[in-house]
Chain A
Amino acid sequence: MSKMHALTGNEAAAYAMKQIDPDVVPAYPITPQTELMQTFAQYVADGAVQTEMILVESEHSAMSAGVGASAAGARVMIATSANGLALMWEIVYITASSRLPIVMAVVNRALSGPINIHCDHSDSMGCRDAGWIQIYSENCQEVYDNMVQALRISEHKDVLLPVMSTHDGFIISHTVERVDALKDEEVKKFVGEYKSLYPLLDVSKPVTYGPLDLQDYYFEHKKQQAEAMKIAKRVILEVGEEYGKLSGRSYGLFDEYQTEDAEYIIIALGSTAGTAKAAVDDMRAMGKKVGVIKLRVFRPFPAPELVQALSNAKAVAVLDRSEGFSGIGGPLFQEVRSALYRKADMPVSGYVYGLGGRDITPEMIAGVFGDLKEGRIHEDEAFHLGVRE
């Protein structure tokens, strides 16, 4: 049985961390993540968790402390946003390549500059190639659910990759919603005990982490990471199903909303999927066959599964909350179009929206569906939705 709470997205993430009770949490504050760690720090101060919380001097140090603790054999959770993630950059890659199953809440915020504290996905999209699993949450409930599942996925013996569980800065992080939480003992049982494969603190079996890895072995280690990322897709589905049995809320790689008979489909990440669902409800009431796919898992990218889900659509629009500056469309657009290459012949239209926290409304989304229906397809370069001319 669950317990109902009124929580912000940040509080929902912190509450999941409280129930998980990780061994080590290194922390450095940055807006809009600050409230998350502040809430968790209160749990530490109140003795509600046994966690060793390490207050460090920068995000580079936070991630480094996480790597050290995880290599030692500890279960580590961490959180950051935007410029903090950028400062972690070097160690973000080292975490993944050292195969340390750290779970990090990334509270999505526009990456400077000019400096901006509001939501877009330029921070997490920037490290989409770092070797981390990336899970995007639509609302506070999903923030909680994804934080609990992320540990199981990350620590699975066939995966052992770190996970970023993201939620939109302010839009979700500072919005109070109803959150159904599992009981403490249910979470404890679900995540289980973490047993490190090569704990540094096991002095009877000494190991070395992070040695020089040159032309003769580095490539093999990258191949191992790529294979683990492929396996992660299966594990994400298994964990999502098991979580569903426990909570009544099962999770897949993406969420399909009114897509079964939809002629036009929008693909989006995070809170915008909720806005798009509202737009779809309005348009369905007018008899329009439209639907939304909310991508939950961006890394690994569920290409064949998406192709299958889109197969009956006449046209697809992809909404990117980061620019990417490729000149041909945002990162999500490029992945979707690449997935469809020689698999399905349908127009794919790219939109970049909501940069630096710019609002996106159901009316704007209705306009995107209108574009698809009228054949205004932005396939050579993204349309900047909501920018002033």
Chain B
Amino acid sequence: MGEKAPGWKEIPIGGVIVHPGNSFEYNTGDWRSERPVLDKEKCINCLQCWIFCPDGAVLVEDEKMAGYDYEHCKGCGICAHVCPVNAIEMIPEDDISGVSIDEFGIKEPPPEI
């Protein structure tokens, strides 16, 4: 938290959360040491990853797997573990610059030569 975080007089007592759903404002993505990336070619859109993700970080559009919310994905790897077709790979954050993915973690197809 930066300098803008509220002081002790401004927050509810007892650690009570009075605004439901405010966990969305709390970015847990920087806890991650490994990042899930999706190979769309292998994915069968069974959405097991979406069901099992403990942080609601798997994005779904039109009932299809649409990548990751990296601001909240903690990198636990459950999605990769449950994927029945091994379409999800966990890549160390240190090595991520060597992987070609879009902002949602979907692998870009290799350029055609």
Contact = CB atoms under 8 A, between A and B. Distances in A.
A208 B14 contact: no
A62 interface: no
Nearest to A211: B17
A174 to B, nearest CB: 37
A208 B16 contact: yes
B12 interface: yes
Contacts of B11: 217, 220-221, 224
A98 B16 CA distance: 7
B17 A98 contact: no
B20 A216 contact: no
A216 B15 contact: no
Interface stretch (B1-9, B55-63, B64-72, B83-91): B1-9
Contact of B18 (A207, A220, A228): A207
A99 B18 contact: no
Nearest to B5: A216
A97 B16 contact: no
A100 B20 contact: no
B113 interface: no
A172 interface: no
Contacts of A99: 13-14, 16
In this complex, the member of B5, B15, B17 whose beta carbon has the largest number of chain A beta carbons within 10 angstroms is B15
A206 B19 CA distance: 8
Nearest to B22: A208
In this complex, the member of A208, A211, A216 whose beta carbon has the largest number of chain B beta carbons within 10 angstroms is A208
Give the secondary structure class of B's interface: loop
A364 to B, nearest CB: 44
Interface in A95-115: 97-100
A209 B8 contact: no
Contacts of A206: 20
Given A223-B8, A224-B8, A97 B20 contact: no
Contacts of B5: 216-217
Contacts of B18: 198, 205, 207
B32 to A, nearest CB: 16
Interface string A233-260: 0000000000000000000000000000
Interface in A70-103: 97-100
B5 to A, nearest CB: 6
A250 B40 CA distance: 77
A223 B10 CA distance: 12
Contacts, number: 55
B17 A207 contact: yes
A210 B12 contact: no
A213 interface: yes
Interface in A143-173: 160
Contacts of A205: 18
A154 to B, nearest CB: 14
Contacts of A207: 16-18, 20
A372 to B, nearest CB: 43
Contact of B14 (A97, A216, A223, A227): A97
Contacts of A197: 13
A217 B7 CA distance: 9
Contact of B13 (A208, A218, A224): A224
B15 A221 contact: yes
A198 B8 contact: no
Interface string B15-58: 11110100000000000000000000000000000000000000
A197 B20 CA distance: 16
Nearest to B17: A208
Contacts of A198: 12, 14, 16, 18
In this complex, the member of A97, A209, A224, A228 whose beta carbon has the largest number of chain B beta carbons within 10 angstroms is A224
A216 B1 contact: yes
Nearest to A205: B18
Interface of B: 1, 5-8, 11-18, 20
Interface of A: 97-100, 160, 197-198, 205-211, 213, 216-218, 220-221, 223-224, 227-228
Given A209-B16, A211-B17, 16 more contacts: A97-B15, A99-B14, A100-B14, A160-B13, A197-B13, A206-B20, A207-B16, A209-B15, A213-B15, A217-B15, A220-B6, A220-B7, A221-B11, A221-B15, A224-B8, A228-B13
7 pairs of A and B residues whose beta carbons are closest in the complex:
A99-B14, A220-B8, A208-B17, A216-B1, A223-B8, A98-B14, A213-B15
10 contacts: A99-B16, A160-B13, A207-B17, A208-B17, A208-B20, A216-B5, A220-B6, A220-B8, A221-B14, A224-B13
